[in-house]
Chain A
Amino acid sequence: MPEENPIVAEQFEDAQQQAEAAHLGMWTFIATEILFFGGLFLAYTVYRHFYFDAFVAGSRHTDLFFGTLNSIILLTSSFTMALAVHAAKENRRRAIPFFLLLTIFFGFAFLVVKGFEYHKDIVDQLVPGAHFNPQLPPAAQIFFWLYWTMTGLHGLHICIGLGLLFVMWLRARRGQFSSTYHTPVELTGLYWHFVDIVWLFLYPLLYLVQRHA
């Protein structure tokens, strides 16, 4: 199959400038996301400082099995995402949608597990408010609004990522990506890896505050 030349938008001089600009744009966007999530991490740090014992108590009520399972799922999805980009660079064009689909599968699995976990959290009365679990100190509600907002915002980003991956999968199936043009796959990968990195910090901060006796 002949390699098509990538379409270069009229504001760019050549394909290379276009690709470099796209990468720079995505990294700039990721920097904004770091600051966006960063505000939540700051609030977490401040309130953990003030309410450490309540954070310990709250953290012990998070579901370690679901959390750990989701961590492995997400790390593996980053692996398959990297393989999708790699396939594009090596011009193994049929492998691209395969690995993208695998990544979607893992991302979707993450959400399914999260769904079960959220359900269990609600049953265990871990939602701050009038029906908050009476066995926990009141200040644990602060831990839990952080838990729900941080994992919720993260989950929203997973959903957005899945949308992007789906579009990429459709385009890959139509043979639009090759070793000469695969920038959208790379950029989707950058976004997906970033969302994985956020989880890597959420996990110890929410699930492992103090698990030893």
Chain B
Amino acid sequence: MNAPEPNYLNAGDTVKSWLLTTDHKRIGILYLLTILCFFLVAAVAAAMMRLELLTPQGDLVMSATYNKLFTMHGVLMVWFFLIPSIPSVLGNFIIPLMIGARDVAFPKLNLLSWYLFIIGGAFVMHAIIIGGVDTGWTFYTPYSTAYSNTHVIEMAGGIFIAGFGSILTGLNFIVTIQKMRAPGLTWFRMPIFLWSMFSTSIILVLATPVLAITLALMAVERIWGVGIFNPKLGGDPILFQHLFWFYSHPAVYIMILPGMGVVSELITCFSRKKIFGYHFVAFSSVAIAIVGFVVWGHHMFVSSQSIYAGIVFSFLSFLVAIPSAIKVFNWTATLYRGSISLEAPMLYALGFLGLFVVGGLTGLFLAALSVDVHVHGTYFVVAHFHYIMVGGMVTAFMGGLHYWWPKITGRMYPEKPAQLAAIILFIGFNLTFFPQFVLGYLGMPRRVHDYAPEFQIYNVLSTAGASILAIAYLLPVIYFVWSLFYGRKAGANPWRATGLEWTTASPPPEHNFAVTPIVTEDAYNYPPLNEVGEHENA
């Protein structure tokens, strides 16, 4: 039996070689392991919330505890799972491979970003363990600065530190993609995943600093009692919301754009067809990043911001839906007359399409000022963003993880259990979150643990769905771990996909490419398909 080929996994097997690595591939794996831990804690919080909501009375936890649960869920899911998920795991691993480079531009900064991430996470976890925070992940003032008796500053401090980690990641990706593409890999020959990651990085770099200063000011007010956001001291709480949402709205695009990038890779590979309207999809990524910065006021329609500002933000929010819609049309057109196969990554991509459309359309409902007045603060909003974040982003993350698993580990996952998990996810997800649209429309407020009895049936359906969703997330953990030991060994390109990452071994050698590749063709140059979707030269 031959000794395994030298690759990044067996190049150094001490703990130190992992904890002090500057190899982007190992850093991607470090991030994967850590975000899974945070996801688990946040999922437990969600489970407790859904259990509480089985009955109309608040009988499982006290309302103060419930407040801490949804705060913990939001903070961990947003900053310690969703934002780092595709960028810091798949982005770190795949970007240098996809551009034909040996590593990112600043490998040491890359390692630093992971340490900032886990140090920030440690502060947040500590704040949770010693009693938690009850302000919601949005930290609205003056409650967070003047009235809450919970560990606001420690949690905000943890987010502040982790935020700098994400800034460094974005900075690294911008310079890497700008400067280190292989010869011949022009901007318009790049796979769409790179366009999405570049656009995401723009947001990471320009929005996160505003979050940082906002959290810092929140801490200043809380510690020194000066009037920044507290009306009693002459401050304006709406200023907090402007500063907070200036970051947090673009943050949702940090969360979805990478998912869209992954979906472009999956749909092209499993339709064996180049993406329809490449330039439109590429420019849409950039457009989402830019226009995403001018819509934040739609979170503040009922905050007492000026109604005229509200009108402007409403109009701009309708506009930002356009590039997303363009992408959906282009993905659909890519599928049309493609040679479609339904491996697990494709099932996840198709699930994404459906769920993202529902999430996106309901976003338009919310962008309409008049509708938002009624459903703001209700489960309609909760359902909307979970359709995008979970139905969209997490589904895309699962799809990408399955797609690139052979590249990362050198092993194939078992296909049938994976397809089953994808289907269970789709069913469980819809059962969990669709009833919440109804709940919100009927008026059930969010962030409350007791509710009017007529809402119970929908809550029971939602909790039932959540238990099915849990199975859909548990199954991959089980078979991915199984595959590390017993999975079929994957070759360099098990999917026969295009893209530079598939031209090197699985798992890749430590420095990715023995010789820097030279690119001479466009992205997704699959052989042409005839009218019945077969390759001409099969």
A184 CB to nearest chain B CB (Å) = 13
Q: Interface size (B, Cβ < 8 Å)? A: 41
Set of chain B residues within 8 Å of A21, measured between Cβ atoms: 105-106, 175, 179-180
What residues of chain A lie closer than 8 Å to B167, measured between beta carbons? 32
Q: Is B442 an interface residue (CB 8 A)?
A: no
Interface size class of A (residues with CB under 8 A): 35 or more
Residues of B within 8 A of A10 (CB): 102-103, 511
Q: How many A-B residue pairs have CB under 8 A?
A: 102
Report whether A142 and B180 are in contact in the complex, using a CB–CB cutoff of 8 Å.
no
Residues of A within 8 A of B417 (CB): none
Q: Which one of A17, A40, A51 contacts B234 once the chains associate, using CB atoms below 8 Å?
A: A51
Q: Which of A12, A13, A40 contacts B213 (CB 8 A)?
A: A40
On chain A, the residues within 8 Å of B210 by CB distance are 35-36, 38-39
How near does chain A come to B211, taking the closest CB pair, in angstroms?
9
B105 touches A25 (CB 8 A): yes
A17-B179, A21-B179, A36-B212 known; A145 vs B171 contact (CB < 8 Å): no
Residues of A close to B213: CB separation below 8 A: 36-40
Q: Is the CB of B214 within 8 A of A39?
A: yes
Whether B179 and A11, one on each chain, are in contact in the complex, defined by CB atoms closer than 8 angstroms, is no
Which of A9, A12, A29, A145 meets B228, CB within 8 Å?
A145
For residue A69, CB closer than 8 A to chain B, the reply is no
Q: How far does the alpha carbon of A142 sit from the alpha carbon of B102 in the complex, in Å?
A: 51
Bound-complex Cα distance A90 to B178 (A): 29
User: Within residues 354 to 377 of chain B, which ones have a CB less than 8 A from any CB in chain A?
Assistant: none
Q: How far is the CA of A198 from the CA of B235 in the complex (A)?
A: 24
By beta carbon, the residue of chain B nearest A51 is B234
Of A24, A37, A43, A141, most B-chain CB atoms within 10 Å: A43
Is residue A175 contacting chain B, with contact meaning CB distance below 8 A? Answer: no
Contacts of A51 in B (CB 8 A): 234
Residues of A with C-beta under 8 A to B235 = 142
Question: Would you call B179 and A139 a contact (CB within 8 A)?
Answer: no
A68 at the interface (CB under 8 A from B): no
* Nearest Cβ on chain A to B218's Cβ, whole angstroms: 11
- Also in contact, A142 and B227, with CB within 8 A (given A10-B511, A25-B175, A28-B171): yes
Contact A138 B209 (CB under 8 A): no
Q: Is A149 an interface residue (CB 8 A)?
A: yes
Cβ–Cβ < 8 Å partners of B516 in chain A? 13
Contact with B along A1-28 (1 / 0, CB 8 A): 0000000011111000100110011001
Among all A-B residue pairs, the 10 with the closest Cβ atoms: A39-B213, A36-B209, A11-B103, A35-B209, A145-B226, A21-B179, A32-B209, A21-B105, A128-B226, A11-B102
Interface of A with B (CB < 8 Å)?
A: 9-13, 17, 20-21, 24-25, 28-29, 31-33, 35-40, 42-43, 46-47, 50-51, 128-129, 138-139, 141-142, 145, 149
Give 13 CB contacts A-B under 8 Å: A11-B96, A11-B101, A11-B105, A13-B516, A21-B106, A25-B175, A28-B171, A32-B206, A36-B210, A43-B239, A43-B243, A139-B234, A145-B220
Q: Could you tell me which B residues sit within 8 Å of A by CB distance?
A: 96, 101-107, 167, 171-172, 174-175, 178-180, 205-210, 212-214, 217, 220, 224-228, 233-236, 239, 242-243, 511, 516
